[in-house]
Amino acid sequence: MAQAQVVKAPSDDVVIQIVGMHKWYGQFHVLKDINLSVYRGERIVVCGPSGSGKSTMIRCVNRLEEHQRGQIIVEGTELTGDVRQIDAIRREVGMVFQQFNLFPHLTVMQNLTLAPMWVRKMPRAEAEATAMRYLERVRIPEQAHKFPGQLSGGQQQRVAIARSLCMNPKIMLFDEPTSALDPEMIKEVLDVMVELAESGMTMICVTHEMAFARRVAHRVIFMDGGEIIEQNDPENFFTHPKSDRTKLFLSQILGH
């Protein structure tokens, strides 16, 4: 069910191109013929019912999951089994998880400097300066020397965002970054994400925060049953959903 490109992109420089991609977990056909191009500076929000394959799709982009058919091309490099290419792509693609996944045995500062120092071979002083800059951007510089377990959920997720940014990625993937947070902490994380969006970062964001989608997304993609069912700009997506499944989904998440 290929649809024509309905949304104008912020540039015509394609940074992620997914073509005819399929994935199976054993016998289970989890992703079916995914076609998606992401342009530089574009911000995409992915939504859909639980189990529809949203996480699996974005995890294929940095090869946390392996696809079995079709092509995924990130920054001009196709994802194949080649470990060096995978590492190269992972350096350019940051990811933020629902469960934060901070390293609990390291301080916040060590969490932030580890990858720049060990992967990018950055000197410690420079890595720490960069880390401090990003901690200030996510508004928790005073927590630098605490352990993750001593922070609130919202603070942990902001550290996780800063940790990804320290690698200076060209693309950021978010997998339901606010779903594990208490309501009063969601805003502080979304604020950081809005700011990041305003800086021009290319983002793919799985979230059900519809206000966030309206505010920052160029494009909203709706998935169900392992397929991309619908895509549109946020305004039309929410006000004129085309498919019945989208209408049902929207009525469920907005209707109370």
Ligand X SMILES: Nc1ncnc2c1ncn2[C@@H]1O[C@H](COP(=O)(O)OP(=O)(O)O)[C@@H](O)[C@H]1O
Q: What backbone phi and psi angles, to 5 degrees, belong to 105?
A: -90, 0
Our CB check for ligand X shows the closer of 95 and 127 to be 95
Q: How far is the CB of 30 from ligand X (least distance, A)?
A: 4
From other proteins, ligand X, Mg ion, none, interface partner of 147 (C-beta below 5 to 8 A by class): other proteins
Binding range to other proteins, per CB under 8 A, among 43-51, 71-79, 162-170, 208-216: 162-170
Position 94 contacts other proteins (CB under 8 A): yes
* Pairwise CA distance, residues 183 & 158, whole Å: 15
* Pairwise CA distance, residues 116 & 111, whole Å: 10
Position 193 contacts other proteins (CB under 8 A): no
* Pairwise CA distance, residues 102 & 127, whole Å: 18
* Pairwise CA distance, residues 154 & 183, whole Å: 10
Cα 146 to Cα 95, 155, 156, 157: the distances in Å are 22, 11, 11, 14
Our CB check for other proteins shows the closer of 35 and 152 to be 152
Position 238 contacts other proteins (CB under 8 A): no
Position 55 contacts Mg ion (CB under 5 A): yes
Our CB check for ligand X shows the closer of 53 and 241 to be 53
Q: What backbone phi and psi angles, to 5 degrees, belong to 37?
A: -115, 135
Position 178 contacts Mg ion (CB under 5 A): no
Our CB check for other proteins shows the closer of 47 and 95 to be 95
Q: Applying CB under 8 A, which of residues 62, 130, 231, 246 lies at the interface with other proteins?
A: 62
Position 167 contacts other proteins (CB under 8 A): yes
Residues forming contacts to ligand X in the complex (CB under 6 A) are 25, 28, 30, 48, 50-56
Contacts 24+ apart (CB under 8 A), 178-181: 178/207, 178/209, 179/98, 179/207, 179/208, 180/98, 180/99, 180/100, 180/153, 181/153, 181/154, 181/157
Q: How far is the CB of 122 from ligand X (least distance, A)?
A: 33
Q: Can you tell me whether residue 111 is helix, strand or coil?
A: helix
Q: Applying CB under 8 A, which of residues 38, 109, 115, 228 lies at the interface with other proteins?
A: 115
Q: How far is the CB of 219 from ligand X (least distance, A)?
A: 18
Q: Can you tell me whether residue 63 is helix, strand or coil?
A: coil
